[in-house]
Chain A
Amino acid sequence: MEKKWKYQYWMKNIPGIGNKKLKKLVEYCGSAQEVYGLTKRQLQKVEGIRACDAEAIAESRNHFDLEKNVQILRETGISMITIEEEEFPERLKNISDCPYAVFYKGRLPKEDEKTAAIVGARMCSSYGRAVSLALGEKLAACSVSIVSGMAYGIDSFGHWGAIRGRGNTYAVLGCGADICYPAGGKELYDKILQSGGILSEYPPHTNPAPAQFPARNRLISALSDVIIVVEAKNKSGSLITADFALEQGKDVYAVPGRLDDAQSAGCNELIRQGSGIITSFEGLLTDLGLEPDKSGAKDKILKKSLEKEEALVYSCFGLQPRNMEELLKETKIPAARLADLLVKLQIKGLVEEYFKNHYRKK
């Protein structure tokens, strides 16, 4: 496969020739190598290739150093797969704007692998964080792979959830697959490589650019059997993913939010338009035809090992985080004692302090 790379990589890098034209060229000639051998006149015979396109192809053929460039590609350790190959993911082939080539690190999802996308806002609430983590973990535990975009917020937590649940997870980037974007997600980037793969339709070393992100959203939805939107404001990028999903005939689920909650306005709107609604994790798993596991039982055993007051404090925690003042009011335990109890719960690994005096279930 790697032998063909040098012509394919050239094809991918011709300026001004998009996925559709590349597809037509390949369909006409059979392979990239043969496209490379065509004269300008022959090129123009291909349907959809205009004189200026033929000019661009010929021009790039003169300037593009095949050997040198393919060497650069090899050095990045990134694999390339194009629509010419049998192994090209079936899920991607079926979409209208199918990419000519996909670059990836790690591996690609298998054809029979069940996949779900978890997408949402970068600036998410703690609730959104908890939900996406739990969704990722529970789906991964049922052998559903999580696909997302590795952005901060919901995307990242979806990936993390899958990693916690020891499942597979795949990230589709809007830049070269060798670039960790956002840079702060390096730890996650490495973890995803271990339990799945990073893929992108852009050649290595491509820097992130605003226009590339909506485009990669179509790949996220294409790779997933079902799309879950956790938290999205109105006009959120996640809604673009949901639109692509509907176009591609995928199921869309949304996590409902409160009426006045701007963070969830997009999700609520999706629900109004008729997308699936997630009211419980078990319900979602049943909807997807999966067997919910009995993780609730673990919680009960834990609770039994707690002192009475510890259990009282612990019972205040749900998906929402709590701060000290709220807990004081709710439990009526004196401040000094509550501080003691909260540290005990932290030591037992049940609760974590994610910000000064703000706690959430671990």
Chain B
Amino acid sequence: MYSMVTTAIARGLESVYIQAEADVSDGMPLFEMVGFLSSEVKEARERVRTALHSCGFKIPAKRITVNLSPADVRKSGSGFDLPIAVAVLAALGEVEAEFLRDTLVLGEISLNGKIQSIRGVLPIVAEAKKRGIKKCIIPYANLAEAKIVPEIEIWAIEDLRELVSYLRGRTYIEKTPIINMEEARQKQTEPDFSEINGQDSVKRACEVAVAGMHNFLMIGPPGSGKTMIAKRIPGILPPMTIEEKMEVSEIYSVCGILPQNGVLIRERPFRSPHHTISPNGLSGGGIVPKPGEISLAHNGVLFLDELPEYKKSTLEILRQPMEDKEITLVRQSGTYRYPSNFMLVAAMNPCKCGYYPDRTRCSCREGEAARYLGKISKPLLDRIDICVEAPLICYEELTQKNKRNESSGNIRNRVSAARERQQHRFRQKEISCNSQIPSKDIETYCGLNEKQNRYMKEIYQKMEISARGYYKIIKTARTIADLDDCADIQMHHLNEAICYRIQDQKYWE
């Protein structure tokens, strides 16, 4: 007898649909599997056979052939065990094929018939819904993430025998996911901007950067609070929309690091990989590429502390994803696409010893500061819109107790208002914030009046700004105007934006 079960594997955030076919016929007793299988899928044969046996099913002395089609897609991952088992059972006539129509089956089996969790359930289920699949059979351990997708029937299975009973006609009773209460309760108290004394100029620059999703660089001596400020940036980012939450959760699901509390990821990601990270760690990689840090920071912040300490080859990787907002990884097994729309926040010391231009403490030689910045490639610096210095704070300021600093909530309100203005402006467009305005549309969205044009020309010549630098200034000025609730860019917005520009290294003595 012949049977067919639908399953899927995640390739990036998309899924590839695979049909698991089984045929039982007369001939030499044999259990064979074909269909371009990787070794973990080949091993499924032993797992399935033993699991069927331990669940009390007799495997007849017949020729059993399993095919995973299409045959030209390499099958990898552990989610094929359950579909193969179900297909074999259906071919043997143990279960009703009727229940498998428009159904997606996913799961790994252990030898005693228990169903184990797999990775990437969320994006697969989300796409299944779009494709018109009515029902998904998944491991119980993955129920929490599958539940995120509304309006699709989910059967969460703990045991193979249990599944067989449903497939013989028993009614499935809705289950609730195990919620790791520990984790759910561990809602961390977020760090707040009000805890930082001083650094007002950095805070302001930070607000502007966040409001327009401008990439942000802080330069300052060690201990001046660069990392503290970076850690507080997620707290002033506007809340994620449901689509954004979904995107982030899908990426985390592919990595298998979705928290077990049964809800979408609500907080914008803040990723701060150490500078020893490998290029693949940042971009995503492996034989079957998993998302890297740039994708895990999608819709959030990627914080690179001690920027010049990263390997050059690692930093160069950032260029294309920063431009395209996604990364395409091509491997033998296929092409994987992961989104990577993050805000880059970087921090660095001004020089090797960290104290330039304070000559009483800095022992670097002439031009060392410029050389230190020179370690970062020009194209990467070109993508940083806002640069600011975080100076050392004096003791009195640091220890001031009852100073009223602005809270993250207040800043977040202003940022959200500015974002709304941008979303309204770009409602017909692909882009969502000022930093993404392509140069050809600058004139449309950031028009300057005649006086301002003349002024910018003067600036352009006097300060020797590059063409790219010029556009960055105008885009930043647009964001500052949005924060100020101004329809048009004003002169002081331009000036403030100029102040945040990143200087050419030749101006660093």
Contact = CB atoms under 8 A, between A and B. Distances in A.
B480 to A, nearest CB: 7
A169 B365 CA distance: 25
A356 B389 contact: yes
Given A325-B391, A335-B203, A354-B507, A262 B360 contact: yes
A126 B359 contact: yes
Contacts of A357: 201, 388-389, 391
Given A184-B367, A355-B369, A339 B360 contact: no
B359 A355 contact: no
B52 interface: no
Contacts of B502: 356
B503 A358 contact: no
B360 A356 contact: no
B360 A122 contact: no
A343 interface: yes
Given A152-B366, A323-B391, A339-B496, A125 B201 contact: no
Contacts of B369: 355
B503 A356 contact: yes
Given A344-B495, A358-B389, A328 B359 contact: no
A263 B509 CA distance: 18
Contacts of B130: none
Given A262-B360, A339-B496, A339-B499, A123 B389 contact: no
Interface in B460-500: 462-463, 480, 492, 495-496, 498-500
Q: Chain B interface residue count: which class?
A: 35 or more
Interface in B394-452: 397
Interface in A152-180: 152-153
B204 to A, nearest CB: 4
A261 interface: yes
A324 interface: yes
B483 to A, nearest CB: 9
A335 B507 contact: no
A339 B201 contact: yes
Interface string B221-255: 00000000000000000000000000000000000
Contact of B201 (A152, A261, A328, A354): A328
A340 B496 contact: yes
A98 B357 CA distance: 40
Contacts of B367: 184
Contact of B360 (A182, A263, A335, A337): A263
B199 interface: yes
B356 A335 contact: no
B182 to A, nearest CB: 42
Given A126-B357, A344-B495, 6 more contacts: A184-B366, A323-B389, A323-B391, A335-B205, A336-B204, A339-B496
Interface of A: 122-126, 128, 152-153, 182, 184, 261-263, 321, 323-326, 328-329, 334-344, 346-347, 353-358
7 contacts: A152-B366, A325-B393, A335-B200, A338-B201, A339-B495, A347-B462, A355-B509
